[in-house]
Structure 1
Amino acid sequence: MDTKQCSLWMFLPLVMSLFTTVGLWIVYFIAIEDNKIFPLTVDKRLDAIRRPPYISVAGDAPPASCVFSQVMNMAAFLALIIAVLRFIQLKPKTISPWLSISGLVALCLTSFGMTLLGNFQLKSNELIHNVGTSMTFGFGTIACWIQSILTFKINIKNEGKITGIPRVILSATITLCVIIYFILEWQKMNFYAPRVQWVLVMCFIIFFWDTGSGV
């Protein structure tokens, strides 16, 4: 890749990660300020009005929902660009084209899921919102594992192990968080599931930044 492409490749993941992280926490604090949710640090329900601090619940009502939609749409757009650039970067070097294509498709479906959960809030259309959430977490987890495998297989600049091992650890952490999250949801443990969800999303963001800005 030429210098111009390289600098764009290094810049976009940082913008995507910072923008999404700051945007989601802004949504959280707006919801706290409007008494829509109780804080993540609370271990018991304070009243009957405030709801558990799930990200989707925090972005369920205006004005937080407006910010949430914008953040998710921008994040999905930037993630899609990163996915395409990543595919272009690895295409000449990949030994398994199907694996690289699968990674691109998984990231594209993840981006589409992000637009669904961002534009269809829980109270407006819970079914579509939950489909978007499942796509984001499900295909996002698959995409993380595919990118980790590609890191080892392609081994650009002999840095496969150096960059691959942290990505495998992140992928394993994301997978574990997804499993724990759905177990807590199934058991209706609404004080702990939101915390796991926030950790899960932050791990996704870190993985995007690491994969996009690395090899």
Structure 2
Amino acid sequence: MWGYLSLLPVILALWAIIGVWLVFTIAVINSTVDLTKDFPFISLCGSFPPQSCIFSQVLNVGAAMVVCVCIVRYHQLRDWGVRTWPNQLILWSGLLCALGTSIVGNFQVKNQKHTHLVGAFLAFILGNLYFWLQLFLSWRIRGLPQPGAPWIGPLRLSMCSLCTVLIMAMIVLHSWLLRSASAACEWAVAMLLFMLFGLFAVDFSVLDGCNLCLQPRQSLSPPPASPVSLQVQL
């Protein structure tokens, strides 16, 4: 069972990348967007039917998979000895990224612009923060396992740095009314975030079990001396 979990990040990345480019292709074919005028934002491609339906489904399923990846990663870091509060901070940034992704898919920019922008903020900004926190944790805790080849860490650092630069460029270019350049940055950021989630396949490849801590239920009788910890191997 645990070996199959290493495929989940790859499936997530492929699902999201193929899905948004399929939405783009349909929008171009049915002339919803006109490439002769400017390069469109992802949200504009997914604002009109029929591709808006596909856009919502792609992002909703993708958000569900992001939640699963974040929860598995949380338990993996916990079993590696990461303290509760930084691990929970990482988890919640990932969950809010998933929530923002779902909001972006369900509240199209042409119908609910302000709600859509809130979702985009959660998806892009907190999504980027999620991976920066992962990198900071691996740098702060020297004994933390680092599965995969030695170049995986520098690759993640490069992708996170590029993602941050592109997010700032996207905002600045949009304020300068350079919409095509801003849209190109948005597409690049989305692809980088999808690929960063896909790289979790390297970390999940070493999964072979997890610790389940059973806490005693509150009752009138005295509780046991300590929680019971079980090692589950499937």
Same fold, TM-score > 0.5, yes or no: yes
Unaligned runs of 5+ residues in structure 1 are 46-50
User: How much has 1:163 moved relative to structure 2?
Assistant: 2.7
1:171 to 160, 164, 186: 160
Match of 2:8 in 1: 12
User: How much has 1:147 moved relative to structure 2?
Assistant: 1.3
- Structure 2: distance between partners of 1:120 and 1:64: 14
* 1:105 has 2:92 as partner: yes
Aligned residues: 202
User: How much has 1:155 moved relative to structure 2?
Assistant: 3.1
- Structure 2: distance between partners of 1:96 and 1:112: 25
- Structure 1: distance between partners of 2:153 and 2:200: 10
Match of 1:82 in 2: 69
Deviations 1:175-213 (A, max 9, x none): 011000000111110121111111110000110011343
Match of 1:192 in 2: 181
Unaligned runs of 5+ residues in structure 2 are 205-234
User: Given residue 182 of structure 1, which amino acid in structure 2 is its aligned partner?
Assistant: I
Indicate if the aligned counterparts of 1:86 and 1:212 stay in contact, CA closer than 8 A: no
User: How much has 1:157 moved relative to structure 2?
Assistant: 5.2
Indicate if the aligned counterparts of 1:13 and 1:213 stay in contact, CA closer than 8 A: no
- Structure 2: distance between partners of 1:72 and 1:201: 12
1:191 counterpart SS class: helix
* TM-score normalised by length of structure 2: 0.81
- Percent identity at matched positions? 24
1:67 to 33, 36, 54: 54
User: Given residue 67 of structure 1, which amino acid in structure 2 is its aligned partner?
Assistant: I
1:121 counterpart SS class: coil
Superposed CA RMSD: 1.8
CA 1:125 to 1:106, structure 2 compared with 1: closer, same or farther past 3 Å? same
Indicate if the aligned counterparts of 1:147 and 1:211 stay in contact, CA closer than 8 A: no
Indicate if the aligned counterparts of 2:104 and 2:120 stay in contact, CA closer than 8 A: yes
CA 1:146 to 1:88, structure 2 compared with 1: closer, same or farther past 3 Å? same
Larger proportion of strand = 2
- Structure 2: distance between partners of 1:116 and 1:103: 20
Match of 2:30 in 1: 34
Greater Rg, structure 1 or structure 2?
A: 2
Indicate if the aligned counterparts of 1:151 and 1:160 stay in contact, CA closer than 8 A: no
Indicate if the aligned counterparts of 1:148 and 1:168 stay in contact, CA closer than 8 A: yes
